Amino acid sequence: MIRAQQLNKTFGQGDNQVIALHGVDLTISENEFVAIMGTSGSGKSTLMNILGCLDTPTSGSYQLAGQDVASLSDEALSAIRNQSIGFIFQSFHLLPRLSAQQNVALPLRYSAIEEAAALAKAAILLDRVGLGHRMEHKPHEMSGGQRQRVAIARALINDPKVIFADEPTGNLDSKTSDEIMQLLNELHQQGNTIVMVTHEDEIAAHAKRVIRMRDGIILEDSSCG
């Protein structure tokens, strides 16, 4: 599913140059549940952005589902993000004026799917994440956990090849975090590939593989459970 070789990423130039990634090699197979860990500045977020086609490496190669994406244009990367990737963010990134159903259907706005069909699919996904009764509610009318469930449903709307979760429980209390992680575990069991960035050991423990980073390199790559 994911194959990265000798990924390097630098920011700035000269004395101000920062090496965010240094020769990272990484392979993630279909239906893996992987957690990427590290302190601030370790390179984990930079790696996530490149794997999620939000950024490109300074050098190195990256293939997603067999397609070489490291040197694609912004437009081509945008198309891949829309068609092959689902994102779950710490801050949910829901549009406040749209209902839960409209937020979930949003990624389909620029596809060939008609609005009625997109909303119907969004309703099915909201029911799947336990929010079938909250479809017409707007983000400010929902709890943090409910908003994250909406975000998870939105991440699934395009039947993505891989789901990237960036600190998915960072803004949630421990009980709600457990509920969200249980939902991610269920998605993994149903065949989804999940790559999650977290700094919390108890959250990473839900993954089947943990990658630890420091100073732009992978220090440890271990299987769990």
Q: Specify the pLDDT at position 225.
A: 58
Q: Specify the pLDDT at position 16.
A: 83
**Looking at residues 172-197, what average pLDDT do you find?**
90
For the cut 80, the answer to whether the pLDDT of residue 224 exceeds it is: no
For the cut 90, the answer to whether the pLDDT of residue 74 exceeds it is: no
pLDDT digit string (tens) for 97-134? 999 999 999 988 877 789 899 999 999 999 999 999 99
| Domain chopping of the chain, boundaries | 2-223
Helices 115-128, 144-156: crossing angle, 10 deg rounding = 130
Question: pLDDT averaged over the chain?
Answer: 90
How far is 67 from 219, CA to CA, in rounded Å?
Answer: 27
pLDDT digit string (tens) for 2-33? 999 999 999 888 778 888 999 999 999 999 99
195 near 2, Cβ under 8 Å? yes
Which strand (E) or helix (H) includes residue 162? Answer: strand 162-166
pLDDT digit string (tens) for 132-170? 999 999 999 999 999 999 999 999 998 888 999 998 888
CATH level 3 topology of 2-223: Rossmann fold (3.40.50)
How far is 80 from 154, CA to CA, in rounded Å?
Answer: 16
